[in-house]
């Protein structure tokens, strides 16, 4: 931070009076209201839907097994080791199971909590450095961003990572701006939590963002001295290294190969688990995931970076030039960045948020493997940008800065009411009632934007934005719940009941041509799944998918204590053997339906769960009896025809 900015801030603080108790009470009331609205958006109906396969179950089930087995070091899925993520989110979810029971609500509780807290934190940043009005706008933008809200309502680790990264960066910005080193140390703790949630990316990405921001501000050396990274690194290491070291020792180095190499370096440089996408994938994710507020984003970025930033504090050089000084400062290759040296709090926060958002999107766009939720950490920064931009537009002398984007969106929703039925028909396997839900949402949003356009055109800018924000929160919440219910009913409904029915017996449960890692969550026991549908990690016998993984090694720590792996899955010990490893366990590139049927035939009795679309493979086949169909899933009972002890 330059001396000019510090001087200006110091002069402003000298004229400030300590806030009265009534103002503090008002601040607490408003932030509580913001948190309450965000919590309502995230928690209402949170446990009404079954877990979504497969991604949500990759977090929910390992946490359940962690609580059941008491092994809080190595994560498992279907009681097989799964090296994909560090344990912080699993620990938090396991604690939620202990408090609330093993339910879908508990599986999603921590993610929803992080989402709600992050909305409140975004409001606090805008309220502190801009205004309460900007904070309310930014919070409304964030809580109605579809991708952000959906991610927060799922039991994924992405919202935990987003809260840790955004919280850390907010602390670093606030600490540096106000020269409060305690905030920097809180930031380091949050970075360590991010690294304990998803690994090195939780530290690498924020460091790149901070470096870029301070390079633009031309105060990188000053920032380096302030942040004291050597002490921060020691603090973060003290939090993260114990678990990483223990896990590496327990697994005899396999964790390094499987997680650090496979889940980080290879995921960035190669396609992992089929998660591929074009270079513009994350740009589209931001455009759609932030809609409808995306319409304000181009002008928000332009007004942040344009020469002569609107809220810039005059530099000493410009003041000298204005006073007629004859000596001009020498120009350098960095002269173009001089406009960013002296910024007031609002413009400084906008620049910081722009660096945060842009670098996050570019970072993940450079990765070969892509997923929608990867861009979620950028959304708080985008909400800050839009909160500042819309707040500025409310004060602008001309209406067009606010009116044009809203009018364009009103027209877009109007057109969408006519084309929506045709588009929905083109979507493969769309829920039957989704057209009515999407159509209702579009019509409601059209009226909200039309009303806002009319109010703004009449000069009622604040009322127009207020009506738009409140209506969008209500409409998104109402139709979002309906859309989630429709999607769940088509994709997952019925699976929990079928799984629990089969689990009532002691017979093995097979899955045919489906990837359903939620089954162990509902059966509370090992499920014979097909191996991972992924290739083994090079140099190990481990997979990163749901099963087919070899057993964890037995490790003894200096004769004091040891750990034993989970019981081997049936599929590993008796499956057909196209190839075998040195331990006699099968290695498949992919498991086929025929191989699953062969494994079933080796058992005297078994249950088979399959999707209704694949049920024809078992119709009129000797030994297979259809037990029930629920939703999109069918349960078959297998009794080997040679056995005369059929159980009806």
Q: Is cis: bond before 54, omega within 30 of 0?
A: yes
Asked whether the predicted pLDDT for residue 102 surpasses 70, the reply is: yes
Asked whether the predicted pLDDT for residue 3 surpasses 60, the reply is: no
Smallest Cα–Cα separation from 383: which of 187, 94, 584, 130? 130
What is the distance, to the nearest Å, from the Cα of residue 121 to the centroid of all Cα atoms in its chain?
17
Smallest Cα–Cα separation from 189: which of 240, 230, 122? 240
What is the distance, to the nearest Å, from the Cα of residue 506 to the centroid of all Cα atoms in its chain?
37
Report how far apart, in Å, the C-alpha atoms of 277 and of each of 165, 262, 281, 284, 596 are.
Answer: 24, 18, 6, 11, 31
User: Encoding tokens for residue 486?
Assistant: 């429709």
What is the distance, to the nearest Å, from the Cα of residue 61 to the centroid of all Cα atoms in its chain?
18
- pLDDT score recorded for residue 267: 56
Interatomic CA distance for residues 560 and 321, integer angstroms: 75
Read off the pLDDT band of 571 (50, 70, 90).
very low
Most confident of 54-63, 366-375, 583-592: 54-63
User: Encoding tokens for residue 448?
Assistant: 């909200």
Read off the pLDDT band of 106 (50, 70, 90).
very high
Read off the pLDDT band of 426 (50, 70, 90).
low
Interatomic CA distance for residues 530 and 593, integer angstroms: 9
Asked whether the predicted pLDDT for residue 369 surpasses 90, the reply is: no
User: Encoding tokens for residue 85?
Assistant: 């993520």
- The lowest-confidence range among 89-93, 238-242, 369-373, 400-404 is 369-373
* Per-residue pLDDT tens over the stretch 37-86: 999 999 999 999 999 988 899 899 999 999 999 999 988 888 888 777 89
What is the mean pLDDT of the segment spanning 229-237?
Answer: 94
CB 132 within 8 A of CB 28: no
Asked whether the predicted pLDDT for residue 538 surpasses 70, the reply is: no
CB 203 within 8 A of CB 156: no
User: Encoding tokens for residue 418?
Assistant: 């006519």
The set of residues, in sequence order, having a beta carbon less than 8 Å from that of 207 and lying 6+ positions away, is none
Report percent pLDDT > 90 for the chain: 41
- Other C-beta atoms closer than 10 Å to the C-beta of 517 total 26
What secondary structure, in 3-state letters, does 375-444 show? HHHHHHHHHHHHHHHHHHHHHCCCCHHHHHHHHHHHHHHHHHHHHHHHHHHHCCCCCCCHHHHHHHHHHH
Query: pTM of the predicted model, to two decimals?
Result: 0.82
Read off the pLDDT band of 578 (50, 70, 90).
very low
| Residue-by-residue DSSP string for 256-276 | IIIIIIIIIIIHHHS--TT-B
Dihedral sign for Cα atoms in the order 530, 534, 540, 546: negative
The set of residues, in sequence order, having a beta carbon less than 8 Å from that of 247 and lying 6+ positions away, is 73, 74, 255
Interatomic CA distance for residues 288 and 585, integer angstroms: 45
Burial class from Cβ neighbours inside 10 Å (0-12, 13-18, 19+) for residue 265 reads exposed
CB 247 within 8 A of CB 255: yes
Report how far apart, in Å, the C-alpha atoms of 338 and of each of 173, 354, 482 are.
Answer: 20, 17, 51
What is the C-alpha radius of gyration for the chain, rounded to an integer number of angstroms? 28
Asked whether the predicted pLDDT for residue 235 surpasses 70, the reply is: yes
How far does the chain reach from its first CA to its final CA, in angstroms?
A: 77
Count of residues in the chain = 648
With tokens 């010990």, the residue in question is 573
Convert 32-51 to b/e letters by CB count within 10 Å (16 or more is b).
eebbebbbebbbeebeebbb
The set of residues, in sequence order, having a beta carbon less than 8 Å from that of 584 and lying 6+ positions away, is none
Read off the pLDDT band of 296 (50, 70, 90).
very high
The set of residues, in sequence order, having a beta carbon less than 8 Å from that of 178 and lying 6+ positions away, is none
Interatomic CA distance for residues 277 and 283, integer angstroms: 11
Average pLDDT, the chain: 80
């Amino acid at each position: 931070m330059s001396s000019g900015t510090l001087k200006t801030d110091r002069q402003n603080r000298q004229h400030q009076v300590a806030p009265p108790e009534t103002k503090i009470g008002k601040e607490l009331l408003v932030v509580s209201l913001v948190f309450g609205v965000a919590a309502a958006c995230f928690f209402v109906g949170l446990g009404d839907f079954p877990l979504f396969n497969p991604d949500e179950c990759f977090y929910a089930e390992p946490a359940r097994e962690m609580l059941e087995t008491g092994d809080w070091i190595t994560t498992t899925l279907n009681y097989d080791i799964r090296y994909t993520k560090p344990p912080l989110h699993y620990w938090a979810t396991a604690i939620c199971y202990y408090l609330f029971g093993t339910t879908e609500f508990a599986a999603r509780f921590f993610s929803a909590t992080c989402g709600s807290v992050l909305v409140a934190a975004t409001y606090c940043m805008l309220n502190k450095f801009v205004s309460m009005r900007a904070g309310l706008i930014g919070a409304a933008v964030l809580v109605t961003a579809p991708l952000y809200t959906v991610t927060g309502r799922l039991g994924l680790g992405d919202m935990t990572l987003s809260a840790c990264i955004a919280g850390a960066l907010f602390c670093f910005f606030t600490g540096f701006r106000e020269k409060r080193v305690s905030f920097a140390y809180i930031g380091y703790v949050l970075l360590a939590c991010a690294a304990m949630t998803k690994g090195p990316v939780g530290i690498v990405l924020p460091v790149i963002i901070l470096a870029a921001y301070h390079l633009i501000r031309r105060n990188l050396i000053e920032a380096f001295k302030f942040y004291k990274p050597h002490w921060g690194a020691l603090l973060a290491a003290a939090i993260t290294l114990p678990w990483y070291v223990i896990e590496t020792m327990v697994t005899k180095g396999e964790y390094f190969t499987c997680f650090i190499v496979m889940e980080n370096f290879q995921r960035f440089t190669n396609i992992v688990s089929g998660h591929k996408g074009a270079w513009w994938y994350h740009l589209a994710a931001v455009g759609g995931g932030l809609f409808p507020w995306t319409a304000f984003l181009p002008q928000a970025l332009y007004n942040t970076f344009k020469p002569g930033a609107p809220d810039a504090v005059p530099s000493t050089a410009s003041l000298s030039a204005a006073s007629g000084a004859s000596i001009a400062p020498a120009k350098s290759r960095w002269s173009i960045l001089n406009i960013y040296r002296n910024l007031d709090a609002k413009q400084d926060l906008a620049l910081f948020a722009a660096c945060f958002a842009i670098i996050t999107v570019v970072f993940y766009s450079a990765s070969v493997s892509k997923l929608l939720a990867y861009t979620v950490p950028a959304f708080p920064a985008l909400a800050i940008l839009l909160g500042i931009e819309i707040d500025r537009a409310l004060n602008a002398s001309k209406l067009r800065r606010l009116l044009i984007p809203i009018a364009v969106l009103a027209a877009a929703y109007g057109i969408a009411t006519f084309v929506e039925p045709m588009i929905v028909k083109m979507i493969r396997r769309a829920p039957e009632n989704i057209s009515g839900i999407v159509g209702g949402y579009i019509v409601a949003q059209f009226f909200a934007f039309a009303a806002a356009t009319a109010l703004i055109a009449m000069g009622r800018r604040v009322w127009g934005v207020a009506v738009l924000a409140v209506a969008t929160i209500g409409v998104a919440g109402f139709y979002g719940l309906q859309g989630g219910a429709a999607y769940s009913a088509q994709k997952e409904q019925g699976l929990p009941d079928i799984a629990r029915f089969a689990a009532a017996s002691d017979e093995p449960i097979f899955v045919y041509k489906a990837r359903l890692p939620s089954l162990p969550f509902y059966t509370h026991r090992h499920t014979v799944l097909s191996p991972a549908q992924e290739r083994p990690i090079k140099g190990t016998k481990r997979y990163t998918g749901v099963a087919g993984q070899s057993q964890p090694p037995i490790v003894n720590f200096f004769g004091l204590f040891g750990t034993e792996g989970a019981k081997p899955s049936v599929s590993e010990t008796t499956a057909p053997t196209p190839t075998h490893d040195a331990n006699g366990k099968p290695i498949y590139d992919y498991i086929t339906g025929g191989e699953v049927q062969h494994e079933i035939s080796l058992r005297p009795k078994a249950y088979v769960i399959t999707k209704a679309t694949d049920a024809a493979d078992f119709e009129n086949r000797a030994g297979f009896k259809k037990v029930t169909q629920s939703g999109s899933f069918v349960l078959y009972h297998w009794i080997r025809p040679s056995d005369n002890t059929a159980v009806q």
